Amino acid sequence: MTKKTHTLAAQDTPDNASIYQIDPTPEALDANHWMTTYSDLFYNDSDNYWEPPISREGLADIARANAYHGSLLIARANYVAGRFLQGGGTRRRHIQAFCRDYFTFGDAAFLKIRDGLGRVVRLFPLPSMYLRRRKNGDFALLERDNIQRSYRAKDILFLPQYDPQQQIYGLSDYLGSIQSSLLNKDATLFRRRYYKNGAHMGFIFYATDPNLSDDDEKMLKEKIASSKGVGNFRSMFVNIPGGHEKGIQLIPVGDIATKDEFERIKNITAQDILVGHRFPVGKAGIIPQDTTNLGDPTKIGSEYAKDEIIPVCELIMDEVNSDPEIPKHLRLSFNTTIATE
């Protein structure tokens, strides 16, 4: 995944007014291919591990791209961790960290902590961001200064989301909504720049009145020029004795259209992100556009738990509890019951 940075270019006009515009550099994505397209995994021979199919740094950055995507990742992890009862010799926040990795990167791992006799006494989550697999099945944890910490395959409990194109790593289930996440971010950043830089053309000041003196014209130019920056939308009083109707006009330049388009983009991309996570609108705190009815929260919560939360709890329990090295007192237990009225 290529990280894209939007930049602003400034140009000086003859009257020293700066005009800011979006750098026309094209998006660093092949328009004919989806950004997650890959034909094969690359094995990094120099570092001795498989490279993930999608940049983990890119996935982590996108989690902070807008108000929806990252919040949904946290919510999904919290719902699963909230059903944790006991096991693993671990704490609930460790389960929450495991779930965050699982939903963000598509896989998660527990390290088996052993005693002096080699018995498993505790489970501890390893950060998927820096976890890599080797050809022999062992794992490497990337640390600072190009240092790798190696783990044997039998010391790692690895839970990936299924990817039909490869079986080395997992693949996040929300990837189909990444473009909407980025568009939502771009729309917000563009809107902020539009208001903040203060050098945009919000209107055309159009004057045809012959009674407008040179001094008045100079004064109006100074007033308009000095209105740039924060608080640039101010009121202006103009008095021209003997002037005629429509001698001075303010012609908006796309402000209303831009506002409407901004709201439309934000609403559509928000819905796309929710669909990508299969997350109910009511639980996301978003009021549907066509109605104010969010439905019965109890029923929605029960259905969501049955369809999305409990299946993940069962996957985690199955992966951990089926390992022959995990003693009974370390087996994970989640609440898989659904509350009824």
* Mean pLDDT value across residues 20-42: 55
* Cα 148 to Cα 47: distance, rounded to the nearest angstrom: 9
Residue with tokens 């989550």: 125
* Cα 235 to Cα 217: distance, rounded to the nearest angstrom: 17
What are the sequence ranges of the domains in the chain? 41-173+295-341
pLDDT score recorded for residue 239: 58
pLDDT tens-digit map of 44-70:
999 999 999 999 999 999 999 899 999
Q: How confident is the model at residue 118 (pLDDT cuts 50, 70, 90)?
A: very high
- Whether the pLDDT of residue 3 is over 60: the answer is no
pLDDT score recorded for residue 145: 93
pLDDT tens-digit map of 234-279:
555 565 666 667 776 766 655 544 566 888 889 899 999 999 999 9
pLDDT tens-digit map of 298-321:
888 899 999 999 999 999 999 999
pTM of the model: 0.76
* Mean pLDDT value across residues 30-50: 77
Burial 218-227 (b: 16+ CB within 10 A, else e): eebeeeeeee
* Residues 101 and 129: beta-carbon distance below 8 Å: yes
pLDDT tens-digit map of 128-172:
999 999 999 999 999 999 999 999 999 999 999 999 999 999 999
Average confidence score pLDDT of the chain: 81
Other C-beta atoms closer than 10 Å to the C-beta of 32 total 6
Closest alpha carbon to 335 in 50, 95, 54, 114:
95
Sign of the torsion angle spanned by Cα atoms 194, 198, 200, 202: positive
* Cα 201 to Cα 110: distance, rounded to the nearest angstrom: 55
Element (H, E) at 63: none
Other C-beta atoms closer than 10 Å to the C-beta of 63 total 20
Residue with tokens 């939502």: 184
Q: Helices 310-321 and 69-81, interaxial angle, to 10°?
A: 60
User: Looking at residue 50, what DSSP letter applies?
Assistant: E
pLDDT tens-digit map of 228-238:
555 554 555 56
Torsion angle in degrees (nearest 10) through CA of 148, 152, 158, 160: 60
Enumerate residues 6+ apart whose C-beta is below 8 A from 37. none
* Cα 66 to Cα 316: distance, rounded to the nearest angstrom: 29
Residue with tokens 């330049």: 253
CA atoms within 13 A on the CB side of 199: 15
Is 203 in a helix, a strand, or coil? strand
Strand partners for 139 = 133, 151
Q: How confident is the model at residue 1 (pLDDT cuts 50, 70, 90)?
A: very low
* Mean pLDDT value across residues 193-222: 70
